């Protein structure tokens, strides 16, 4: 329960919105698609600020998930809500009236926290390839996570990480669809 709470509380911190407000004196809801994420920080303040926002959004997921997985030795089905808590905190941030970001950087953080290099590398490379083939952000993200799911099914001896990956894909598919509708 402690790791679940820690993950959600960490995830709900809207670093992109904070950077935009304090450093750039800009409201991200007026930039691009209005999403409080790294892409709109890039549009508002440039590459350096966007990289900082993306790293913070990634590490806010990686740290609590990694602590639970490696230090807390949480490896069973109870890992599923713990791993998804930072993403849920990010997408449904109470600090932004439950309208958070899409969760891409936080997803990379989750997989960094669970697999160190394997998840972010497979997801990142497959996301790049799928984006070239599909020309749709939402479809590319889902396809990238499905590719990671297949790799995890082949490399893991249990179904916990692939289950997390499928739920992660469903949540990102939903979060990307909400911005396509606006």
pTM equals 0.94
Which residues lie closer than 8 Å to 57 by C-beta, 6 or more apart? 15, 16, 37, 38, 90, 101, 105, 106, 109
Alpha helices in the chain (DSSP H): 2-11, 15-22, 38-45, 47-66, 79-91, 104-115, 118-134, 137-155, 160-180
The residues, ordered by sequence, that sit 6+ positions from 17 with a Cβ below 8 Å of its Cβ are 28, 36, 96
What confidence score (pLDDT) does residue 40 get? 94
Dump pLDDT digits (tens) for 150-179: 999 999 888 999 999 999 999 999 999 976
Q: Can you tell me the distance from the alpha carbon of 121 to that of 47, in angstroms, rounded to the nearest whole number?
A: 22
Residue with tokens 């329960």: 1
Contact status, residue 167 vs residue 88, Cβ threshold 8 Å: no
Query: 1-11, pLDDT tens digit by residue?
Result: 899 999 999 99
pLDDT at 104: 97
Weakest-pLDDT range from 79-83, 132-136, 152-156, 175-179: 175-179
Q: 18-61, pLDDT tens digit by residue?
A: 999 999 999 998 999 989 999 999 999 999 999 999 999 999 99
Domain boundaries defined on the chain: 2-180
pLDDT at 182 over 60: no
Q: What is the pLDDT of residue 116?
A: 96
Which tokens go with 110?
Answer: 């989750």
Closest residue by Cα to residue 18 from 44, 51, 53, 61:
53
CA angle 126, 34, 173 (to 5 degrees): 35
Query: Residue 21 CA to chain centroid, in angstroms?
Result: 21
Predicted confidence (pLDDT) per residue in 97-115, tens digit: 998 999 999 999 999 999 9
Element (H, E) at 158: none
Q: Which residue has the tokens 């905190």?
A: 89
């Amino acid at each position: 329960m402690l790791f679940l709470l820690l993950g959600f509380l960490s995830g709900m911190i809207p670093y992109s919105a904070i950077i935009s407000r304090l450093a750039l004196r800009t409201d991200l809801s007026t930039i691009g698609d209005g999403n409080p994420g790294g892409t709109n920080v890039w549009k508002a303040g440039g590459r350096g600020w966007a990289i900082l926002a993306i790293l913070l959004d990634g590490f806010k997921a990686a740290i609590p998930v990694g602590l639970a997985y490696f230090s807390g030795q949480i490896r069973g089905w109870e890992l599923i809500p713990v791993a998804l808590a930072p993403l849920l905190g990010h997408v449904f941030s109470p600090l932004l009236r439950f309208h958070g970001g899409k969760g891409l950087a936080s997803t990379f953080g989750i997989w960094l926290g669970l697999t160190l290099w394997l998840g972010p590398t497979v997801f990142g490379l497959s996301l790049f390839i799928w984006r070239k083939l599909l020309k749709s952000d939402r479809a590319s993200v889902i396809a990238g996570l499905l590719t990671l799911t297949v790799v995890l099914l082949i490399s893991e001896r249990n179904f916990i990480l692939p289950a997390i990956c499928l739920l992660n894909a469903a949540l990102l598919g939903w979060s990307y669809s909400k911005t396509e509708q606006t």
